Structure 1
């Protein structure tokens, strides 16, 4: 499922405000997860909060940094699930391959989706 741009924008604003509020209220939180369920599909958005040592926001080099990235990672996980893995196995495999080739999870998700287009061609309008 591809999330509409307006919904992505709304979720990005909500997630950003939530992260900012948590940063102010709780100084030692490293990240938060926002779970949304849309049409029965679960979307987890992980947001890095302020790093107390460096004073910046960072969710890790291999973690998605935007809702568009999260959407791409979730789509890649869906491709791996379609090949017979559980969601947990698919997520672990995506991270394992990304680490093996020294890529970010987002980059590996993009590669997985490009490869999958050969397996599941898009329907013609």
Structure 2
């Protein structure tokens, strides 16, 4: 049985995840996601782990070919993916919509505290 061919579009993926995928898939890792390189490496893949802000558009989908069945993105949004074109081709999309909730909440609380305690004004006074 042929193993699925998976493109990982960035080199900054946890090694544990790469090891797990290697057990069942043939991996193509694009450590530095430059569009021209991605267009070459995407040819004939069955799945893509799209971990880049490069556009997943008609050109990229055409380069991938008809074997592409699923695109997973490690982001909460998917505005870097042409969703309508992907749907038209019957390709599944997965994302992680709640991945940033805690980080956003923590940042908001930090900003509230900084504003309440006038941190910026204090920093400016120290710098003078």
TM-score, normalized by the shorter chain, greater than 0.5: no
Q: Which has the higher helix share?
A: 1
